[in-house]
Structure formats: C-alpha cells, structure tokens
Structure 1
C-alpha cells in the first residue's frame, strides 16, 4: 500500500544557496510506490528532461529511490526501514539525496522525512527467566525481572507490562529517571512445593501503537523444598496371596512409599520393625533402598499358612520423618507333594492256574496336600489281567486281584505298574511296580511242528544212519517240558517197526537199523509219540511216512536175443531179405524204478552202417536195404543197452549174422503174421505141454526160495524174482514197466524168441497178482538161465 503522508515543498532561496525540497513518507511504502512528481514540483519540463542527463546521489550509499524521466516521478526502488536508517531512535529520521540535471547544470537538494510506524513488537533480551524461591519464603518478597525493548519510537514503543494469572505472584512497575520502566515480581501468597513445585508465569510487554504489539518472556519459579512431609505408603495393610514353594528370589511386593519432599528429604530407607518375627525374616528379605521384598527361604503351606511383616519407611532429612505399613502373605497350597503308594503285602509268585479273584497285593495311597491336590486316583498303567478294588473298610487302600485266567506260556511274568495321580493342577503322580512270576503247570501237551512227516531215504543206506530229527515243542517248563520219544509199535509182515527203525528218546533223532532195497521195500508208515514228564504226563503223536528212493544200482539185463553160451549170438538170415525186414530184436530189462529203468539202445559196433538200423527205444534191428553180391556174408553187430540212471549202467550183446542162400519164405511169413495161438502145429503140442510143466515146477522152486530167503534176511510181501523170470505186481506201490502192461511188447518178445527156436508163454494169474514170463529153449525140457540178474519191471 502506498500513500502520501504529507507533501510539502520548502523553497528557501538564499543568495548563493541551493533550494531544499522536503517530502514526508511512511516507512511501510512498498516498492514502486511514487514518492513525488519532481518535474511538476520543481517546475521542470518533461520534454527538456528527456534530452538531458539526470542522476540521484543518495548519501546513505544505498539506492532506495529512482527517477523516471518520462513521467518526472520519484519512486521507491527498495523498501525503506526507519529503524535501520536511524538505529539511535532519534525523534526525526531523514533520507537525503541530490537531484542533478546537466546541461545546464542544476542541483536540487531533497530530504525525505521517514514517518515511524508500529512495525516492531516489544521483545525481552531473555525469553526465559528462572527463579528459585524457598517454600518457606514470606509474602511480600520481591524478585527482579528483566525489562523489554522496542525499536519503535513515540507512541509505538513499550507502554506497560502484564503478568499471567497467578495466586501467588504479581508485578510492580518502576520508572527510572530516564523514563525506562523496570519490573519486580512480588510474592503475594505462601508457597507449598508439595502442592506445586514449579510455577510457570508469562510476563508480557505491550506497546502503544496501532495496532498494539507485544512481546513475552517465560518466568519459571522453582519452589525449593523443606522437609515438611513424612513418607507415606499406598496402603496401611497389603494382603498378598503367594503359592508355596515359590522359587527363591521371587518378588513378593515392591513397596513404594512416597515422600512429597525432594532431595535428601525424599530419599527413603526401608526396614523391618521389631514386630516382624525372626522366622518371617528367615523366609523374606527387604531391600532397604528399593523397598522390594523377595523370597529367600522355602515357603511351605504345610508348615505355615500365612506370614506378617511390619515395614518402616524413613526419609533422610535433617529431622527424619517416617511412615509404616503391614504386609500379610497368605500361602496358597500348591500341588507340591507327590502321592505315595505303599505296598503292604504282595504275592510275587503264583501258579499260572490261580483262580480269578485271588488277591495278589494290598496297596495303600496317601498325599500330604489338601483339597483337590490331595485327592488321589490309582490305576494300572496298561491293560493287564488284574484290577484294583477299593477296600470297603479302608478307603485309601486297594486290593490288587486277578481278573482273568493267566497263562504262563503266553506271559511268564507281569510287571504291574500302579500309578497314583492326584487331581491338582498340574497333577502329580507316583508309580510302584509289582512283579508277579507265574509258576508253570503242566497244561500243554507236546506239539510237533508238522502233523505228517514224509521222509525220503535213498536205498542202500548205511545201517544206523540218521534219517531225520523229529523234535516236538512243549511250552511248559522244567519236568513239564522234558520230552521222551517213542515209536508206536506196529508190525509189518511179522516184523516190528523197532527192528527197522530206532528213535533217540531224548532228542527225537530217527535212525535206520538196516539197509533198505527199493526193489524189495518201497515205503513204511508208522507213528511216533512225544510224552512230557509232567504229572500227569501229556503226549501227542505224529505220522511218519518213510519213502525208499531208488538208486541206479541194477544194470540192464539183456533177455533177448537168447544167449545160451557167452554173450555172442549167431543168427542166419536169407540174403534175399527185403529192405526194412526185422533181423533181430534186442530186449533188456532193468529192475530199478521207472526213471532208472528206461533203456535206450545203440550200436556200439556195426560192420556196415549203411545196411542195418537200430531203433533206440524198442531195440529192433532192421535192414536198411537189400543185400547185394558185394556185401560180406558175415556181419558182426555189437549193441549196448543203457539205462537212464546217474551214472548210467549198461549191458552189451554181440550178434553175428550169416547170410545164406536159403528159401526162407515160409519162415519169413511166420515172422510177419500176427500172434495167434493156433500157429503151433500138432507136432509142437507136446512141446508146449512140456514147457508148461517145466514152468510150473520153476514157479514152485522160486516160491520156496523166497520163503527161505525171507526167514534168513528180512520180511517182505514181495517175492524176489528168479534169474530167468520177469515179475510185476499190478496195483501196488511198485512201479509197473510199460513193457509189462503193453501187449505190443509181448508180441515183439514172442516174435523174437520164436525166431530163435524158443517159446515165450505169458501166463495170466488172478487180477492184482504177478505176470510170469518164462523163456525156454526149443527142444529142451529145462530152463536155461541168463548170465544177468533178474529185473523187476
């Protein structure tokens, strides 16, 4: 805002002197405000000024004003501050300058009178004043306060002082000889530090300008203490609940006695009074400086239910003051006592057949705690055939009784863990273990791992060899477990089992007493009994099946072609024999089992391999082509018959063939015709009758020989075969040879034998018995035996 305060022109022209032009401006005029129109005031033409040089010299060395030649106006370039230009606070303040126009030179003296405005507020040299006043000071005492300053002048300077509202203080203003005002703080009411330790006052200096401006200073009055207040506790009596067994060092209470005084007058020392018992002081300790009461001994509810402590608090003033209080500690029962189990009587050893309901032990329980902490529940740790019943006449006693049948073989010993647990929080428990051993009773019969034993015994075993170990198990103990083994007597063909086998009565080892021959004895079936030594003894038996396993201990026996002397057979065949004609048939028998008696045939030596062939399964030797004139008349064939055993056994036969120029058509036709009983001519009828008679006599001789042999060596229902007989028992455990049951074999055998001038007769006997095949040379009445042992098919 720009305005003219006043404009006046003083033109005093003295001879030889310049004129002075004065203006009055307010210091608050803004930049650009026009101070005066010098061209108009000085009578200058604007057009002429524009052609001349104009400058302003400001004596304060600061450019506050400037001149506009176009308008002829003097305007403010920099805001004018009266307090800066006239710091000594004179009554009047002028800014002097020269207005110079050249060509021709003219100088005008200009003075600007700066009018003061209230642009400065009063302020204190110290805005915070602190005073220490004793609370014992009397009303009327004075305290000097600093005065304020104001750079403005006249009515704009400080006019008066004011103090904020206070019940205890006021101010008085003094004026000095130079007009300066001084302020005193006056106490009007006694102070109480405990009521108010610090008084905060505000001193305000106010000027007389418009608008009014003021400045403030903070007056802090600190009230100095005197020992006029005793220490005081929050309560006269403190009631505290504390659990027993509280750890040592635990804080019981932190006493905080207060003393309204300060300094040493408020420093407090705590102590027990004489009313506190020594026993209490043994359990609790008091920190004299902090007032903390902590546990230093054992708190036991069962020993003391509550404690009383009398405490004194004393300050450190010159004349000490003190206060007192009482602390009552009620001890809370904690579950700090474990239940106790007392076994008053016990039976540590009982028979396993002890009756259900038998009392094993009498157990008592107790707990020193009270309430729920002293209530006890007792139980068995895990499921067992025992229970606890509470005694009717003694509530804290229990009977441990048998609740289920006991079995030593399942559980020989019981560790019965009794657990007593109270109902406190947290619950405490105690345990006691009662060990009960069960005495064995002979209540278990021996048991074999299997109900049926199949034992395979290789024939030709050594007498006394171990066959197997038949061990039974008895879960009982001691004599109830000691087992004795027996072979239950059984006779086979008037022979007792104890003559064939023996068993060790202590360990059940089964031995063979003789050497077995598979071709005579195939199997045995009997029972073995195991009996314990208890009273009464218990036993069980098991079935034993002995199977004699065949060995390849019999070599094949060649029964065809017939060999009367030695192992060489001589044969004659026509040279006109056709291709594929049967020359001879080699038949070998083996008395071993089926596997070991399977026979195959091979040429061991042949004169001409292109002329003869040998069927490896049926032993037939046939021509592979017709004889030619180049072929030799003599042929030597060596055939080996080998069984299927391991290692294989064999027999050989040598056949010498002589080719002749003979018409053998009728003979050849006879060899190819089917087997018929009417091929025999009347001439041979007598020969057949003789053969039958000889065969019958031979059979009788064989039976007598078998009986004698059985009496001397070993019983057997199977008669031993004769050297020149083939015996097979149908529907028995002895394996039948395919050759016996196959009529094709008998046809081949008959054909081969008849070509050698022999008769082969198959004599059927009742079903289930043997077939007896006899081989008799033609023209003889006696049986001729071969050089090999008989074979069982």
Structure 2
C-alpha cells in the first residue's frame, strides 16, 4: 500500500519537473547526464567542472556544490577531479514510479561570485523488479449455470519498472473450461480476465486450480505467479449488474468529511434473497482508499471519510462489488474513478539558494546580495508565484529563470543611516484567494570611510590667566566620526602656525588620543595677549579624512606689575626736588606726579595718595591725576623746606604700589627775580628773535594739533560710547600718517574707566617732550598736561614701558619732528 502511494507522489513530481525542464530547456541551454539506476556510491556521472567551463582550482576556490530538490542528496562533487559522482543508491521506482521519463533536476551553486546553474540527470530503468501479485492465492466462485464466454476479472500484477521492463503479458495454465484474456484500460493498465469457455458441471468437477503468471518485457524476462482456485457454485445463476462499468466523479481536495460523492446502482434479475444486493469495496482495496472513502452497503452511496490532498494523490481508482444473498452468492463489479480537484491550500515557499553576503556601502547598483527561489506545491495558477519587495529599500529582485531571482542593490547605500536591512520578501501565488508567505532576509552594510571627523564646534575660546604653571591643561577639543571601527577612530594634532613669529607648537602640545591641549610654559600678558591654535582631527580610515578647528587662546592679565613713576624722574635718586614761590596761592600747581602700569584693565587703574607730609594742611594730591597743589596760600610761618611722600597704587588684586618722595623748596621773591632778570637781559639779536618766533610757532602748532586731535577724539568717543561705551582706534587705521621716526606720538588708552591721552615727542639729538591727559569718569573735566622734559635715554625707556602696557586697541598719531625744548603747562578742558 505504502509503496503505491510513494509511486504516485514521485510520479506526479517527476511529471511536474519534466514539464518544467522541458520549458526551461527551450529558454536556457543546460547540461544533462544519463545514468542507470542502482549505481554504486562514488560512480562517476560526468565531468561537471569541464562541462561548466571551470578549472580544477576553481572547483575548490569557488566552493562548487550541488543541491538537489528531491529531498535527498543523491549526488556530490569530487572537489579534486571536478566530477559529479553518485552519493547514495538511486532507486528509479522510488523517485519516478512508472513514469516514462525520470529526470532529476539539480542546482549547481558556485560562490565568489555567486552563480547558479541547472543540470539534469536522467535515470534509466533496469529490470530489477519482477511482477508480483498482491494476493498469492486467488479465489473465484462461479455458478455452474454460468454462460460460456463470461469473464471474471482477476487481480492485476504490479511491476515497479518502467518502459519495456514493465508488465507486458499474462499466461494461465491449461484448463479445458477456462482461457485468459487481457483487458487494457485507458491509462495503460492491463487487467487479466478469466473467460469461461464452456458451462461448468459441479457434479463432474467442483474445484478448478489454475496458475496465473505475469511476465515483464525485460531481458532476461522476470515473472510472478498467483494460484487461482475456482469454486463452482450451484443454484443462483444470475449476478448483480451495475448500470456502468466505470463511474467518474470529481471532488475538491478541501471537501469536508462526510461529503456525498456518488450513488451506485446495480440490479439482479433473480428473486428473493438471490436478488437482494449489498455493496462493498473490492477485496483488494488499498488501505489508503478505505481510510479516505466510505460506502453505504445497502444504498450504494459513496461518501468522503478522510482528508484529501491533491499534492499527495490526484486520482483514486476504487473497485466496488455488488453481491446478492443467494446461495451461492453472485457478485457484480464496477470501478469508481475519483478525480481530486486542486484548491489553493498551500502557501508559496521562499528558499534561500545562498546566504546573503554583506555589502559595502559604496557598492554599485546591481551588486548581487543573495540568490532566491520560490515554489508552490499547488498546480496551475495556484502554483504560480510572484515575489515582491517593500518600497523604499535600495534593493530589487532580478529574475534569472523560472522562479529563481537574484537580490541586487538598486540605490545608494549609507551605513550611517542604515547599518542593516531586514528585507521582507513577500511571495504570493495566483490562486483564488491568493496565499502569501513572507520571509525576512538580513543584509549587513559594511562601512567605508566616507565621513570626515567633525568638531563639536568650529571655534573654541580659551581664557588663560598669565603666569600659569607649565603643563596645565588649557582646553580640550572633541570631534566625532559617523563611520564605524577604524574609520571612526580619531587622532588629534596641532597644525603648524605661528604667533609673533614663533611656532605655536612651542607654546602648547596636544594629547593625540583625547584632544586635550596643555601649556608648555608660563604666559606673560604684557608680551602675548592672544594667539590661535589650528587643530586637526584625522580618522584612521584608508584613505584617512580630516577636519580643522581653531582654538582662540586669550591671555588674561594678572596684577604682576607695580606702577612705574615717569615724572618726576628718580634717575638721580629716590628724592625729587621741586621749587615753589612763597607767594603761591591756594590751588597752586606745584608739580604733577605721573605713573604708568604695564598691566591692563583694573590692574592698570592708578590712584595717588599723600601718605606723609611736613605740613599736611598745605598740600593735597589729586587721587586720579597725581597733581600736587596747595590747599591754602603759603604763609611766612611755613617752613621753606617741605617733604611729601606720595603712594601710587593700582586697582589690582593684590594691590601693587610705588612711592615717590618730593622735596619742595619754598623760595621768597622767585617772581621778582625772574622779573629782574627780564629787565636786565640784553635785547635779543635778530637771530635769537627768529628762534623765539620759531618756538612760538612750533608751540602754537603743537597746541592747535593737540586741540584738533582732542576735539575729533571727543566726538568719536561720544558717538561710539552710545553703542560700545569706549573710544578705540587701531594703529593700522592710521597707517597713512606714520613716519619712520618716533617724533610726536599721541596715544589714547581706553582700557578701564580711566582714559588718558599721551603726546610723546622725540628728537633724535635733543631732549623729548611728553604730554599726558587723563580722562577720568570720576570727574567732569580732563586735563592736558605738558610734562617736563627728561633725558633722551630715560624717555626711550619710558616709551618702551608705555608700548608694553598699551593694548593693541590703542591708537597712534605721528607728526613731523619737533626739535625744541618747551617747559610750560597747558590745561585743556574737554566735556566727557
């Protein structure tokens, strides 16, 4: 029973593949081999490598392998010779039953790069099976009144072989009452029939024994036998007769159990019990039929008892017997042919012929990712399968042949956006309603170095106090890379650049791993106020990518410079000698102490304080200008020698200070002496008169120039203060006025609340002049003061101190050389 079902299954499968490969061969040429069944393991089928155009080295390197769709691996590839060999014993009858053609399709998969070939192996039949009867002893009951010529169907023999090796004929042993006839059905099946040649006489011979022999067409001929025992019955001489010898019925495979199929009718012309009929299945009905169908013995109704499966069996041949109740029993026979109609009850199947390969993100369109095939066990439209991919994926399916496809790239891949795709492939058949199957294929995207490192910000501002410890960390920069692995590892470095003609790398160094920047020595605000560090982040990809960022380092001033006294000069000692007339009134300007601080901001705000005095009621010092004035008129009782100790402090933290000691000589009749000298002085010559004229013109020019400068400066300060609150002009904005010699220099310091202008004049061979005006927000007026001249050498040192202390925002104006010595005091009041 089981063998018959296997035969039908493989017969259907072989026919399906036969038609499939007949269709394929018309489209695509393919390799075909022919072998006999039952070959030993290791038998050579053909040189597969040669037929596919491959070298022996490619067989191993490209991993040539064979995949069978028959469920078993009947063949394998000899990697050393490239030959297709038998892997296990092949039984043609198990594979294809009695089909005329038995072709086993194989898939040949070649990797690196992926290729798929189809080959066919035709299995030829050998005569390895003898015909056999299911029942070795057959029993036939025949009424003695049976008319000559009556036929009695006998059991058919089965031969699994095909073609000429299959069952060909029957013979029977000699008997005067019986002969043998063979009846051929429409499907090619041969049924032996026992023919009664003359009436039987039970009284002469009640039992006849015959030997039935089945012969096949092989060489040598194989045969099988069955013994027939014929019992001659008496009396009941009519047997039931069916309306048809063959009934045909169709039923869908998804029909429910208990479905009515057909009603069989038979008649018996006898009367009484000899005419009463009961229906039953034939004695040799297979168990598969008995478990699937059911017969009502009284009515002849045929019902569905079990489950039908078109993919397991497409047709059933059912032998039905109608027996009467006579003695002996008489029976009639018919056959019911059941055709199973296919319904779409099998979902399509998606098969991965090869596992998906990882894809580089810069792979071109059309790169093969995986090989896929689809199949459906149903037939007709129910077995036609289409594959679809979801929209929005950069992949597509490229059909190759039949239901085989290649999954290829169809768009731009970006690992940083999607590092892995789970591609859901949908397979849908053409049945009604259609059935769908989904399969997810993971595809990994391999990273390439296509993203440069990116700093968290393009510019970094670092504020560093001067006089810091070497080796301290200034700042830390960070960059990120969207790539993966080595392509995302970042190294930091400092690009070569200069600050004040010195390489930046001599100031700082950088940790290449984490981007931390450290100082290499201490910084001095008075020498270096700001510099830039150009840093680079480079990944470890091949080729590597990089990006730059700029770090602005601002040095913050510390109060590390004490005020320096410019006037009165202490070049000859710490004591400065001054003179004043005893006739001086209250508010008389005795002298003016001038000091500068090399620091900036609050650290450079200078205040003057009188800490000691011979007579504290006589003198006062202006807190912001340093002017020493009389608080009252000098009297005759005041000492002629006065000593003042003035403390000069900045506004830094901690406070830096300096002191200056003034020795003031109060003289009587100083004005009268000057008048007498003027009266007694001889008349100047014409030459000295010209010099005097020149001096007056020079002084007037300087005064007018200073006045114009202050007016322009005051206007700019008023305008700019509304928006920025400071007056600032860069030196490079006045490049058109520069002279190679430092002659007359006007500087405006706008650093902090104390604002002052200094006018410096220098002759290369003579003494220098210094004019300083302090604009203090603490007062409502400003003074422009000519400071007494000092030596050229001392004045140059003072200029150096001023240059170091003034910020880059200070502005400079230079005029022509002034070669004269002027000692005077000019007060210019400006609105602030």
TM-score with structure 2 length normalisation? 0.42
Give the structure with higher Rg (CA). 1
TM-score with structure 1 length normalisation? 0.44
